[in-house]
Amino acid sequence: MMSIPQWITATIAALPRRHRLLLSGISALLVVLLLLPSEPATASRQSANLDNQQTELEIGKRYDLSLELAQAEATTPLEVSVNTTGSAPTAGPEQQLNWTSHTVRSGDSLARIFDKMGFTPQQLYVLTRDAQAEKMLRRIHPGETLRFARDDNGELAQLTYQLSATETLVVSKEGERYRSDIETKTIESRPSFAFAKITSNFWNAGLEAGLTSQQIMSVADMFGWDIDFALDIREGDEFSLLFERNYVDGEFIGFGKVLAAEFVNRGQVFQAILHDNGQYYTAEGRAMRKSFLRSPVNFTHITSNFNPRRLHPVTGQVRPHNGIDYGAKTGTPVMSAGDGKVIASAYNNLNGHYVFIQHGERYVTKYLHLSKRLVKNGQRVKQGELIGRVGATGRVTGAHLHYEFLVDGVHRNPRTVELPQAESLAGTELPRFRGIAEQRLAALNTNKRIYLAML
């Protein structure tokens, strides 16, 4: 794409200055129109499609694109629709109803509310003869809202009670009785985009990009098999996210799934795309999940890069160092890097408290200087399971985890060693995933281009 689409620049120019500043912030959250190809296409064809679509859009109007994966393989293009939701509960077609609402207070009972609203106990009795209405209305809590509709005669024609963001109990008068229904609204997921460049640390960059802690953690989880978030993150690294924002009746109710993400770590690009089985894969369909975590300590706990080339405090020589040291406070949780079986859980003067884990035939991981061991010899452990806590036991100068990774008995660098993968996609799953991946990556890349062009 040669230039920023005109409608976007026009929209930005029309914004108040404060908003423009916000937008130009390097990691401000960006929600822009997602332009998607109408069919799986090559990169060059996508640009052509994008340009076609743009010319049909109006400046200053807000468009929402639904990213329906079920339709990923369908020939119909993704829907472009102006949001026109937001209607009141439905009443009888001819009747003009008069609505009032009541917010439940502590100590309120249904009887008291009915009384306050000017309805008789008899009306409440008739209404609660509907079993579902009776059951649901028994659950009212302070702060919730009941809405009452009177007909021309002042009688209770309808009552609504919102059960959740998507469900509402609607009790309607039908002749001499009341009938209840649960109206379900659909959650509309709108794709959104965020970009972050790391200046101080990964966590702050995520927060500055407007992401929630949960979203930041999910990025670390997604890429945690390829990137050691404790030690490998550098200033200038960047990541972008395509994720869902969920709406009901046009009202934001929360964040949904991360659909695709890209992480650039020291110039190396990693991409993860959500498949409809709930797992993340590379664009080629290889599982993001590996048999081993890159780091047995959560990056949020790392205090510093521990210096592994330090002189030994006792011998005064550089001690041969076969592992990685993670500087972290005493008590920091240590996880098993992979599924396996504990082959040692013991103490000696050099290692302090230590745990060794065997993973399959070829791999062994070792965790040294623990303050606490939480597993026993012979015990089976899962990847990510808590096995101990960081300490300063054994021959050490400060609290840290010393971590070793052995392949066929040989020490390897756990941060760079090629790790065995979990299952990758194959057969008919693969082409189906590729269709999904292509769309999501195209959306991610388009947003990133537009975002970066606006800076």
The footprint of Zn ion on this chain (CB under 5 A) covers a number of residues equal to 2
Stretch that binds Zn ion, among 45-53, 219-227, 322-330, 424-432 (CB under 5 A): 322-330
Residues 396-415 that bind Zn ion (CB under 5 A): 402
Residue whose CB is less far from Zn ion, 232 or 325: 325
The rounded distance, in Å, linking the Cα atoms of 245 and 194 is: 12
Nearest to 169 by CA among 142, 130, 143: 130
Residue whose CB is less far from Zn ion, 146 or 368: 368
Residue whose CB is less far from Zn ion, 359 or 402: 402
Classify 24 in phi/psi space as left (phi over 0), alpha (psi -120 to 50) or beta: alpha
- Closest approach, Cβ 295 to Zn ion, in A, equals 14
The rounded distance, in Å, linking the Cα atoms of 68 and 38 is: 12
Residue whose CB is less far from Zn ion, 190 or 366: 366
- Closest approach, Cβ 310 to Zn ion, in A, equals 9
| Non-local CB neighbours of 216 within 8 Å, separated by 6+ positions | 202, 203, 206, 207
Stretch that binds Zn ion, among 68-76, 94-102, 186-194, 321-329 (CB under 5 A): 321-329
Residue whose CB is less far from Zn ion, 353 or 402: 402
- Closest approach, Cβ 272 to Zn ion, in A, equals 31
- Closest approach, Cβ 384 to Zn ion, in A, equals 22
How is residue 69 annotated by DSSP? Answer: G
- Closest approach, Cβ 319 to Zn ion, in A, equals 8
The rounded distance, in Å, linking the Cα atoms of 275 and 209 is: 24
Residue 31 is which amino acid? V
Nearest to 333 by CA among 293, 365, 300: 300
Instruction: Give SS3 for 175.
Output: coil
Nearest to 423 by CA among 259, 291, 271, 273: 291
Give yes or no for a contact between 299 and 327, defined as CB atoms under 8 angstroms apart.
no
Name the residue with the smallest CB distance to Zn ion.
402
Which H or E run contains 112? Answer: helix 110-116
The number of residues in the chain equals: 455
The rounded distance, in Å, linking the Cα atoms of 181 and 186 is: 16
The residue with tokens 């110039």 is: 267
DSSP codes of every residue in 197-219: E-SS-HHHHHHHTT--HHHHHHH
**Terminal-to-terminal C-alpha distance of the chain:** 16
Residue whose CB is less far from Zn ion, 366 or 402: 402
- The token pair at 140 is 């009212």
- The token pair at 156 is 């209770």
- Closest approach, Cβ 358 to Zn ion, in A, equals 21
- Closest approach, Cβ 411 to Zn ion, in A, equals 12
Residue whose CB is less far from Zn ion, 275 or 402: 402
Beta bridge partners, 320, equal: none
Residue whose CB is less far from Zn ion, 325 or 385: 325
- Closest approach, Cβ 234 to Zn ion, in A, equals 22
Stretch that binds Zn ion, among 235-243, 344-352, 373-381, 394-402 (CB under 5 A): 394-402
Stretch that binds Zn ion, among 172-180, 255-263, 324-332, 414-422 (CB under 5 A): 324-332
- Closest approach, Cβ 402 to Zn ion, in A, equals 3
Residue whose CB is less far from Zn ion, 354 or 433: 354
Residue from 228, 325, 404, 438 binding Zn ion (CB under 5 A): 325
The rounded distance, in Å, linking the Cα atoms of 105 and 103 is: 6
Residue whose CB is less far from Zn ion, 389 or 448: 389
- Closest approach, Cβ 220 to Zn ion, in A, equals 23
Q: Does 366 bind Zn ion (CB under 5 A)?
A: no
Nearest to 393 by CA among 330, 322, 344, 345: 330
Stretch that binds Zn ion, among 15-23, 179-187, 293-301, 325-333 (CB under 5 A): 325-333
Residue whose CB is less far from Zn ion, 206 or 388: 388
- Closest approach, Cβ 267 to Zn ion, in A, equals 28
Q: Which residues bind Zn ion (CB under 5 A)?
A: 325, 402
